[in-house]
Every structure is written in C-alpha cells, then in structure tokens.
C-alpha cells in the first residue's frame, strides 16, 4: 500500500515560510501585494480567487482584489494591467484564467511585467524556465516538485512520465523535471500518444495531469512507482451536498495498492498550488527592494 502524500501539511510548511519571509519584509516597510484580477463570475474561478485572497491575508500579505464584469473589453483589461505594472506597491499580478471568450489571453498575459508575473505564464518566464535561468515557475508544477522533494522521492536518474502537455501544468513540469539539478528522464504523453499504458508502465514517477477522472488504472502503473495526481475532476455524486465530488486522474484505491507514494484528490497537489503562489509573491516583493 502506498504512502499517501499529505499535500495539506506540506503546503502548510510552505505557507509558514511565506509568512515568515513576509514578516521580514514588513520590518523593512514592504508589504508583499498581489493584484488579483477576475473578469466575470465563473463559479470555479470565483472560488479559486477567493481561496487565493484568503491565503494571502493569512500570510500577512496584501491582496488587491479587482473584479470586472464579464463584458470588460480587452483594451480596458490591458489598460488595467499596464496601470498595475506601473504601481510600485503591487509586486505580483494574477489574471485569473480562463478569460471571457472575446479577450485574447495571450495578449493579456504578455502585457504583464515579467517581474510581476507570479503565475509564470509570460513568455519571458517560460523561456527562463526552459533555459534553466532564474524566474517565476508556474505554481502547480512547482508544487509537484516541492512534494517530490519533501517526500525525498529521488528524481535523478528516474524516468518521469507526465500525462498532459498544457501550458500551465504538463509542459512546464516536463521542463522542470529535465533540468540538470532534477535530472529526471522525461516522457510527455498526450491524446496523440496511442497506447498510454505503454509509457506509464515505464514510469518511476508518474504525473497525471490530463483532467480525465480515473484515466490511470492500476494496470498502467509500475509496482513501486510514485504517482502524483494533478487532476481535479468533478464527478456526479448524489450523496454529496453539492451533487458532485472531486476525483483525480488516477483510480486512487487500486493505484494506491501498487504505488509506493500517491497524492490524494483533494488534499494532494491542490493545496500546493496556492502555497507556491504565496512564495512567488514574496519573491517578487523581495526582488523589488
């Protein structure tokens, strides 16, 4: 039976680190501040943004909460980003995605000053990540690495298989894992990979980030592999108050029988994302002094 990785506790440690670095900055007269921009009222986005704002305040940081109507124009949003870029009291800018369909996300992300790009989605941040240079690393992939590190799961020489190649999870994660200091051998799978199990069965570290509930079954996992489940999927559940429950990309009960480590959903990777965001905001503020 696998060791269940307690993402909540590990995230708690990272949040404490963010809070203590914040306290040190405050002594120098700087309060780390993240501007959180939300356009529209998508319920999932509202709940993510609310959770981020709460975590910032708990760590002693400032959250500048900017809510815009879904009909906001692209030009208005770009003007707002530019004004936040110029505002020296704002250290990080987070524009919650997805944006309403009439707004080009690429344009908005590229408008953010890379020094304030705490989500790590700006092309400059992406380039730095690929080149192995310092810069902001997207929070979820960075959270996955922190879990591996905290659990002392060896990465050097390990074969890591990442299922998913999105710009926010799979792709940056693969680029991180292949860095010299991490030294994994990386395979990236996607919908064009054909027999997914052929690849996943070779993984010492299997990272599922496909957004498909229960995609990874026990027969697709090597005995003793570490399984990191990034997927957060709502599946109907009439016994649950909200009518759904959260399920990961791995079939938890059967995969846990075979793996050496596994992250639960919820309570695994999810809490790490916000914790790593807090650390990115503190870093942005530290870089500004």
Q: Which residues of this protein are in contact with ligand NAP, per CB under 6 A? A: 140, 163-166, 168-170, 189-193, 196, 209-212, 215, 230-233, 269-270, 273
Q: Which residues pair with 205 in a beta bridge?
A: 160, 226
Which CB, 63 or 273, lies closer to ligand NAP?
273
To ligand NAP, the closest distance from the beta carbon of 73 in angstroms equals 26
- The answer to whether 52 is a known catalytic residue is yes
H or E segment at 48? helix 43-58
To ligand NAP, the closest distance from the beta carbon of 24 in angstroms equals 27
To ligand NAP, the closest distance from the beta carbon of 49 in angstroms equals 13
DSSP secondary structure letter of residue 252: H
Structure tokens at 160: 């890591």
Report d(CA 285, CA 210) in Å as an integer.
33
Contacts of residue 119, Cβ cutoff 8 Å, sequence gap at least 6: 94, 95, 136, 138, 139, 277, 280
To ligand NAP, the closest distance from the beta carbon of 12 in angstroms equals 16
Annotated catalytic residue within 52, 116, 247, 258: 52
To ligand NAP, the closest distance from the beta carbon of 8 in angstroms equals 12
- The answer to whether 119 is a known catalytic residue is yes
Report d(CA 85, CA 8) in Å as an integer.
33
Structure tokens at 209: 């980030």
- The answer to whether 96 is a known catalytic residue is yes
Which CB, 90 or 121, lies closer to ligand NAP?
121
Which CB, 93 or 275, lies closer to ligand NAP?
275
Sign of torsion over alpha carbons 81, 86, 87, 93:
positive
DSSP secondary structure letter of residue 219: G
Annotated catalytic residue within 14, 117, 119, 258: 119
**Listed residue (188, 143, 121) closest to 15, CA to CA:** 143
Q: Is 206 exposed, middle or buried (0-12, 13-18, 19+ CB in 10 A)?
A: buried
Which CB, 90 or 210, lies closer to ligand NAP?
210
The answer to whether 151 touches 124, Cβ cutoff 8 Å, is: no
Annotated catalytic residue within 14, 96, 204, 249: 96
Which CB, 135 or 231, lies closer to ligand NAP?
231
Hey, which residues are catalytic here? 52, 96, 119
């Amino acid at each position: 039976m696998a060791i269940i990785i307690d993402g909540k506790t590990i995230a708690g440690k990272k949040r404490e680190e963010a809070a203590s670095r914040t306290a040190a900055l405050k002594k120098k007269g700087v309060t780390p501040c993240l501007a959180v921009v939300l356009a529209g009222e998508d319920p999932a986005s509202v709940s993510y943004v609310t959770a981020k704002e709460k975590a910032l305040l708990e760590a002693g940081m400032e959250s500048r909460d900017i809510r815009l109507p879904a009909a906001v124009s692209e030009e208005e949003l770009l003007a707002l980003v530019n004004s936040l870029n110029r505002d020296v009291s704002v250290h990080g800018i987070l524009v919650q995605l997805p944006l309403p369909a009439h707004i080009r996300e690429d344009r908005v992300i590229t408008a953010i000053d890379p020094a304030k790009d705490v989500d790590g989605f700006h092309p400059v941040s992406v380039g730095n990540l690929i080149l192995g240079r310092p810069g902001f690393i997207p929070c979820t992939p960075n959270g996955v690495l922190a879990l591996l590190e905290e659990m002392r799961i060896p990465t050097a020489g390990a074969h890591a298989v990442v299922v998913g190649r999105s710009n926010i999870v799979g792709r940056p994660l693969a680029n991180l894992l292949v860095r010299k200091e991490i030294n994994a051998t990386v395979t990236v799978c996607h919908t064009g990979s054909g027999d997914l199990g052929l690849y996943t069965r070779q993984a010492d570290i299997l990272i599922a980030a496909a957004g498909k509930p229960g995609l990874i079954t026990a027969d697709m996992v090597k005995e003793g592999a570490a399984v990191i489940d990034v997927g957060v999927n709502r599946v109907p559940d009439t016994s649950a108050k909200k009518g759904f429950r959260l399920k990961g990309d791995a079939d938890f009960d059967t995969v846990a029988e075979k793996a050496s480590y596994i992250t639960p959903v919820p309570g695994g990777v999810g809490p790490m994302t916000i914790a790593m965001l807090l650390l990115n905001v503190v870093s942005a503020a530290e870089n500004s002094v």
